[in-house]
Chain A
Amino acid sequence: NAGVTQTPKFQVLKTGQSMTLQCAQDMNHNSMYWYRQDPGMGLRLIYYSASEGTTDKGEVPNGYNVSRLNKREFSLRLESAAPSQTSVYFCASSEAGFRNQPQHFGDGTRLSIL
């Protein structure tokens, strides 16, 4: 059982380049999330999708877009990468919302913007 799979695991971009981070889950979960993790700041929610066909902004959505392609897949796009977007990005999924439901996390994508 793979759980939550993120690709790629590492990526280096130049400022202004675009990129899409991919995420897929095989647990039939309704809700999916994108976080970024920065030193000393914990995880911050970028966007989430409560169910297939819906997406909503989290705490730090500026500079990002998302697509909930189907129930399994939730992608994160950087249209014009900036050095401030250097971070580790985590995708997560849960059965329905957060209460009483653990979020299952992928292993992360380490992204560097030069």
Chain B
Amino acid sequence: GNSVTQMEGPVTLSEEAFLTINCTYTATGYPSLFWYVQYPGEGLQLLLKATKADDKGSNKGFEATYRKETTSFHLEKGSVQVSDSAVYFCALYTDSSYKLIFGSGTRLLVRP
């Protein structure tokens, strides 16, 4: 079946450090891939998305590239800020499943 695997958290970084959060997926067909962010006490917000192989999604300094050959969609940011502290969820959607499948989430803590 379709699934998403994310790296275990928490990830703790100092401000201005480079961030990578790994995400790999298993899916039949050609999924769309998403990164969502959840700030404390809030619902999820779409951060970025990619709908086909080699697409790069980007937003607020975050980037992720849809790699079909490695079935990955790793999230990166060159210089994190304290305000980036949140839980990040990788997700996929396929037309055959008609539902969004989430990874378990990775908590990011950025220290000043």
- Real binding pair: yes
Contacts of A103 in B (CB 8 A): 44, 46, 100
The verdict on A12 contacting chain B, using a C-beta distance below 8 Å, is no
Given contacts A99-B32, A99-B95, A102-B49, contact A42 B103 (CB under 8 A): yes
The verdict on A58 contacting chain B, using a C-beta distance below 8 Å, is yes
By the criterion of a CB under 8 Å from any partner CB, how many residues of chain A are at the interface?
Answer: 23
The A interface, classified by DSSP as helix, strand, loop or mixed, is: loop
Q: Please, how many angstroms separate the alpha-carbon atoms of A48 and B93 in the complex?
A: 15
The verdict on B43 contacting chain A, using a C-beta distance below 8 Å, is yes
* Residue among A4, A45, A58, A105 with the highest chain B CB neighbour number at 10 A: A105
Q: Which A74-102 residues have a C-beta within 8 angstroms of B?
A: 90, 92, 97-100, 102
Closest to B45 in A: A105
The verdict on A53 contacting chain B, using a C-beta distance below 8 Å, is no
Given contacts A40-B104, A42-B105, contact A98 B46 (CB under 8 A): no
Closest to B90 in A: A42
- Which B positions have Cβ atoms within 8 angstroms of A? 4, 32, 34, 41-46, 49, 51, 89, 93, 95, 98-100, 102-105
- Which A positions have Cβ atoms within 8 angstroms of B? 4, 40-45, 48, 50, 58-59, 90, 92, 97-100, 102-103, 105-108
Given A98-B98, A102-B46, A105-B45: 14 more A-B contacts, CB < 8 Å? A43-B44, A43-B89, A44-B102, A45-B100, A59-B99, A92-B44, A98-B32, A98-B93, A98-B99, A99-B32, A99-B51, A100-B32, A103-B44, A108-B43
